[in-house]
Amino acid sequence: MSAVLFHDDEQRRLAEESRDRLSAAIGTIYTSIVPLDRFYMAEEYHQKYRLRNAPALFREMRGYYPNADDFRDSTAVARLNGYLDGNGSCSDLETEFVSYGLSSVGSELLKSTVCGSARR
């Protein structure tokens, strides 16, 4: 199920406005807008999905965070996962990637994935 969860009336209003704008542009939107009653943490194997599909980077970050809870809760891991999913620009990455403590191989892999092979 695809859903947008909201906490309050303002979030609901914004979600509905967004849905209506998108629907006017592309047609029917099937994503539900529903209140967040209770949050359930996804199983470990669902955590940081994009990073898990970049085995070299995944192994490197698990080396820093061998405990599953620490890995899941790491801001650095979340940022890398976001970049790998297409969120964040190459210039954003350039300003912060050294703070992740990646090896030179990991750094180049991340940069080439986010910035494209022409950036090497």
User: pLDDT tens digits for 7-20?
Assistant: 999 999 999 999 99
In the predicted model, is pLDDT for residue 51 greater than 80?
Answer: yes
Looking at the chain, the whole-number percentage of residues with pLDDT higher than 90 is 79
In the predicted model, is pLDDT for residue 22 greater than 80?
Answer: yes
pTM of this structure: 0.70
**Cα–Cα distances in Å, from 20 out to 1, 13, 29, 30?**
19, 10, 8, 11
In the predicted model, is pLDDT for residue 118 greater than 90?
Answer: no
